Structure 1
Amino acid sequence: MTPPKFIFMLTRHDRTVENAVDLVEAAREAGVRHIGFKDIGLPFTGLQTLASVIRGAGAKIYLEVVSLDRDSELRSIQAGIALGVDYLLGGTHVDDALRLLKGTTIRYYPFPGRISGHPSLLEGTETEIIRSAVDLASRPGVHGLDLLAYRFEGNVPDLIRRVCAAVPNKPVIVAGSLDRAARIRATASAGAAGFTVGTALLDGAFPASPDLAQQIGYVQTIIRQF
């Protein structure tokens, strides 16, 4: 089994933190090579600086779009294009996004299912979410899916497993509320290609020193088991 990618999100409660730039060096020293942020929390100039610092650290850049309305989402996608991010995660206005992303090298992973609220929640039945995942994955320009599995009220490991099985040629990243070792292990065991962690690391939720490097090291220890 290939270990899933660990994507460190410089975010708390679905917002990019003000001191995000200051955290990049600690992540780099800990060996993190996938670093992301949200479209909410910092002005564009702040995101420009952040993207430049992440790139300078030798990491891939992930922007996750959590804006709910169409116009805000499209502005965020345009910002992601201008920032030169490597991956665009999330968002629900897929047809509009694909038009904007056409001709870029950005890897696009939209949200399957119905998304509501902030922080984002995943609504619908397993069957509805899987149907949405299959539909999205079939579209040219969609490179994978961003599944808010632990924002779903149901059997989460089963949902991850079924979505991954339904779209075998498109990688699935699990995002949101991976705040304990059991959830990370379940995500990896279910076949996810990657997962994001933000709030839990910044809040010292894992059973290690609250120091960020120690928290990251704990997560890295978990995924080395796969």
Structure 2
Amino acid sequence: MDFIFMLTRDDRTVTDCLDVLDDIAGLGITHIGFKDVGVDADTLARLHTRIRALGATSYLEVVSTDRAQALASVRTAVELGVDQLLGGTWIDDTLPLLRGTGIAYLPFAGEPLGHPTRLAGGPDRIAADCRRAEAAGCAGVDLLAYRATDADPLDLVRAARAATGGRLVVAGSIASTERIRALADAGADAFTIGSAAFDGSLRPRAGTLRAQLAPVLEAVRAPVR
């Protein structure tokens, strides 16, 4: 299972994202993402260039639940040339914007609401959205399982896994190795962590970012049970 380190806190890219990249250099993190809010366009461009220089796969995750703003994020992803675009629900509007770019698109399954984003929809809705995304040609789905309002998070992951052969990324509120292991058992292909690393939730008594990320890296590198 892949660990996608999001350079974000509270659904915004952290203002010192470039310094953070320096701090995590050498940890072997090969999947790094961000959002197109929180820093200016020049910083985003420099950030993406440096992520690529590290040899990592780059991700932009759509924040807005407003159609026009979400599609503006898609255009930013195209301008930057990210590897994968996460989030958003306007599949029919997004895929034409990505045509010919090579960017893999993984829309949200379910109904994202508010900010910070919550997820409405039970297992049947999630499964139906996964099938719709796959039929449209998406590379997979982005699932805010632990922000669910209508169902058990792992029930949503299992429903998504059963409904799609595409890549299943679980994002949001993953703040413990127990949740990481549970996601692996439920069939997730990747998960994101951002705020939990920056606010100290992963190791409450540890002070450095490297210390926060250590148990996450240990968990993903552990042998499959």
Q: Please, what TM-score do these two structures have when normalized by structure 2? A: 0.94
How many equivalent residue pairs? 221
The whole-number CA distance in structure 2 between the counterparts of 1:6 and 1:28 is: 15
Q: For residues 71-94 of structure 1, give each alpha carbon's deviation from its aligned partner in whole angstroms, at most 9, with x where no partner exists.
A: 111111111111010110001111
For the Cα contact (< 8 Å) 1:122–1:151, is it kept in 2?
A: yes
Alignment-derived partner of residue 65 in structure 2: 68
Residue 59 of structure 1 aligns to which amino acid in structure 2? A
Quick one: distance in 2 between partners of 1:74 and 1:176? 21
Distance 1:109 1:129 in 2: 13
- Structural mapping, 1:57-136, within 5 Å: 57-136=54-133
Structure 1: which 5+ residue stretches go unaligned? none
Map 1:156-175 to 2 at 5 A: 156-167=153-164, 169-175=165-171
Q: Residues 10 and 195 of structure 2 are in contact (CA less than 8 Å); yes or no, is this contact kept in structure 1? A: yes
- C-alpha deviation, 1:170, in angstroms: 0.3
Match of 1:85, SS? coil
The CA RMSD over aligned residues, in Å, is: 1.2
Report 1:1-226 matches (<5 A): 4-140=1-137, 142-153=138-149, 154-167=151-164, 169-207=165-203, 209-225=206-222, 226=224
Report the secondary structure of 1:145's partner residue: strand
- Give 1:126 deviation, angstroms: 1.8
1:15 to partner: Cα distance: 0.7
Which structure 1 residue ranges, 4+ long, deviate > 4 Å from structure 2? none
Letter matched to residue 136 of structure 2:
R
Q: CA deviation at 1:137?
A: 1.6
**CA drift at 1:210:** 2.5
Deviations 1:169-192 (A, max 9, x none): 201000000011211111111110
Quote how far apart the aligned CAs of 1:224 are: 2.2
Q: CA deviation at 1:215?
A: 1.6
Task: Give the distance between the partners of 2:132 and 2:36, measured in 1 at CA.
Answer: 25
% identical equivalent positions = 44
CA deviations over 1:120-140 (Å, ceiling 9, x no partner): 111022211211111112112
Tell me, what secondary structure is at the counterpart of 2:82?
coil
- Whole-Å separation in 1 of the counterparts to 2:170 and 2:34: 15
Q: SS at 1:209's partner residue?
A: coil
